[in-house]
Amino acid sequence: MNPARTALITGASRGLGRALAGRLAEQGWHLLLTGRAADDLALAASELARTTEVIARAGDVADAAHRDELLAVVTGWGSLDLLVNNASTLGPTPLHRLEDLTAEALSRILAVNVVGPHALTRAMLPFLIRGGGVLLDLSSDAAVEHYETWGGYAASKAALDQLALTIGSELSGIRAYAFDPGDMRTAMHQEAFPGEDISDRPLPEEVAVPAILRLLARRPPSGRYRAEDLLAETAVEAPPEATSTASGGPA
Ligand SMILES: NC(=O)c1ccc[n+]([C@@H]2O[C@H](COP(=O)([O-])OP(=O)(O)OC[C@H]3O[C@@H](n4cnc5c(N)ncnc54)[C@H](OP(=O)(O)O)[C@@H]3O)[C@@H](O)[C@H]2O)c1
């Protein structure tokens, strides 16, 4: 019998991370989940533990001691099939124009969205390489477009894209994806649009998660992929590498 596949998902207590964890649990993956709020994370982990083996470690992805805790778990596993750098911050909300974004606020955005994920990726690379695993960095259309007040977050997502795409070109033994999930009806999205009705946006399990499962099943070349492209390709049964390596669009 093959050993269970293993995944580390940052920011898995709600939103996309939680939804993806649920689908992977149904497929028998063993999961290591993070998030800062220990109670929220414990609740998610206890729900998922009815289906599969789940380890929860509460902490901030920007905190080196927290990342060391994650490394200890994965070292115990011996290999890692999937690292999802999903935890992210918008920075101060309501979102600020760049002229009002302080150096401290931008530093925090970059620490959570870029420096922490890069440090975590470096720590996990030997384990990903061992099994030819997948690095999945959560991008945004803001990485390739520019919108008023989104500058700090957008710069961080553009930087994260560059890290994923460069690792993909440096290491042929793994797959490295920058993945744009499109708009999703989550706490982060509501925070970005305070007071607005966001009920027309799809839930993570409706578009983004099926697209990620498609990526994991097909393992196209490392690159930048958008959820909507992956699902459109599924509809016409075209190979994903034909059209989806670089693109943008409003979200
Ligand atoms: N929602 C959208 O429309 C949209 C669009 C494009 C891209 N994205 C990207 O998709 C990803 C998921 O977004 P989402 O909408 O699902 O967000 P969400 O609902 O706000 O969930 C974010 C998760 O990350 C955790 N988290 C936040 N900051 C953290 C930190 N510093 N350290 C560790 N965990 C942290 C949160 O738990 P705690 O608060 O307890 O830490 C939570 O579990 C993000 O990378 C986001 O940039 C979202």
The arithmetic mean of pLDDT across residues 86-105, rounded, is: 98
Pick the closest to residue 7 from 25, 37, 19 (CA basis): 25
Would you say residue 249 lies in a domain? no
Is residue 26 scored above 80 in pLDDT? yes
Is residue 250 scored above 50 in pLDDT? no
Q: Return the residue matching tokens 């061992």.
A: 130
Would you say residue 250 lies in a domain? no
What is the structure's pLDDT at 233? 83
State the burial class of residue 141 (Cβ atoms within 10 Å of its Cβ: 0-12, 13-18, 19+). buried
Contact in structure between 182 and 11 (CB atoms under 8 Å): no
CATH number at residue 197: 3.40.50.720
Ligand 1, CB within 6 Å, residue ranges = 10-17, 34-37, 40, 60-62, 86-89, 112, 138, 140, 181, 183-184, 186-189, 251
Query: What global pTM score does this model have?
Result: 0.94
Would you say residue 1 lies in a domain? no
Would you say residue 251 lies in a domain? no
- Which of helix, strand or coil describes residue 126? helix
Report which of residues 54 and 1 the model is more confident about: 54
Residue located nearest, by CA, to atom 41 of ligand 1: 36
Contact in structure between 163 and 121 (CB atoms under 8 Å): yes
What is the structure's pLDDT at 113? 99
Is residue 125 scored above 90 in pLDDT? yes
Pick from 10, 16, 90 the residue to mutate for probing ligand 1's pocket: most ligand atoms within 8 Å of its CB. Answer: 16
Pick the closest to residue 113 from 76, 138, 146, 80 (CA basis): 138
What is the structure's pLDDT at 251? 34
- Our answer to whether residue 225 is catalytic in this structure is no
- Nearest atom in ligand 1 to the alpha carbon of residue 251 is 5
Report which of residues 60 and 233 the model is more confident about: 60
What is the structure's pLDDT at 245? 37
**Number of structural domains, the chain?**
1
Would you say residue 162 lies in a domain? yes
State pLDDT tens for residues 181-195.
999 999 999 999 999
User: If residue 73 lies in a helix (H) or strand (E), which one and from where to where?
Assistant: helix 64-77
- Which of helix, strand or coil describes residue 251? coil
Is residue 101 scored above 50 in pLDDT? yes
State pLDDT tens for residues 29-83.
999 999 999 999 999 999 999 999 999 999 999 999 999 999 999 999 999 999 9
What is the structure's pLDDT at 237? 56
- Which of helix, strand or coil describes residue 15? helix
User: Residue 19's domain spans which residues?
Assistant: 6-242
Would you say residue 16 lies in a domain? yes
User: If residue 178 lies in a helix (H) or strand (E), which one and from where to where?
Assistant: strand 175-180
Contact in structure between 61 and 34 (CB atoms under 8 Å): yes
